[in-house]
Amino acid sequence: MLTVHHLNQSRSQRVLWALEELSLPYQIVRYQREKTMLAPPALKKIHPLGKSPVIEDNGEILAESGAILEYLQETYDHAGQFKPADARQKRQYRFWLHYAEGSLMPMLLMKLVFVSLGKPPVPFGLRTLGGILGQGVQKAYLNPQLETHARYIDAHLAAQPWFAGEHISMADIQMSFPLFALLSRGGINDLTHISAWKKRVEMRPAWQRAIQQGGPFEIPGG
């Protein structure tokens, strides 16, 4: 049986979603974030990087969300439901699988860091300066970049309901974490098509089962 090493409020939620979509049996080993919001040291006993998600399957340990989702699709999606067969859609599928962590998520993490510079655990005497620095970087660089990416994604979803076409795929599952984060902390209005996509995700029974298994999934705003 597959084992998911699941950290609360983390990227491993999308692995649970994928497993539910595939109707695969699995067990969960649960970890709670520390006060610093970092993963606990116990995860390093499973994988040297100490990050989540990590899965175990047939004695093999696999990390990295995109790699895990591709593995699950290639190994268990025998009907090819979660990867398009059409060549053009397959190119879209590959792009969004890599874009999620390669382009979008780094900017969202940067935004979280710079928003936090004026707050604990930054030392009290440095918070004012940190807050000014953080606001400056966001205004000059991060916010315009996020706006460009958000409009690009929203326009893509205006033409089709899912990232690789008319049907849901692993690309949608991979994009779920950064898009939930974007809507929560991006500060960008009128993302009509992304919001509609999010509603479609939340209506899926497999998503709802994954939330029941993994616990509440709410990404704090910046």
Q: What is the pTM of this model?
A: 0.89
For domain 85-203, which CATH number applies: 1.20.1050.10, 1.20.1440.130, 3.40.50.300, 3.30.1330.10? Answer: 1.20.1050.10
Buried/exposed 38-62: b ≥16 CB within 10 Å, e otherwise: ebeeebeebbeebbbbbbbbeeeeb
**Whole-number pLDDT of residue 133:** 55
23: left (phi over 0), alpha (psi -120 to 50) or beta: left
Q: What percent of the chain has pLDDT over 70?
A: 83
Could you tell me the two tokens for 42?
């116990």
Please report the pLDDT score of residue 74 as a whole number.
97
The domain spans of the chain are 1-80+207-212, 85-203
Question: What pLDDT is recorded for position 79?
Answer: 94
Rounded mean pLDDT of 194-205?
Answer: 97
How far apart are alpha carbons 82 and 96 in whole angstroms? 13
- DSSP one-letter code for 40: P
CATH of domain 1-80+207-212: 3.40.30.10
> Could you tell me if 154 and 197 are in contact, meaning their C-beta atoms sit under 8 angstroms apart?
no
What digits encode the pLDDT tens for the residues 5-42? 988 778 889 999 999 999 999 999 988 777 766 777 88
Lowest-confidence region among 49-53, 74-78, 167-171, 206-210? 49-53
Predicted confidence (pLDDT) at residue 111 exceeds the cutoff of 80: no
Q: Which residues pair with 31 in a beta bridge?
A: 7
pLDDT of residue 41: 83
What is the predicted pLDDT for the residue at 6?
Answer: 87
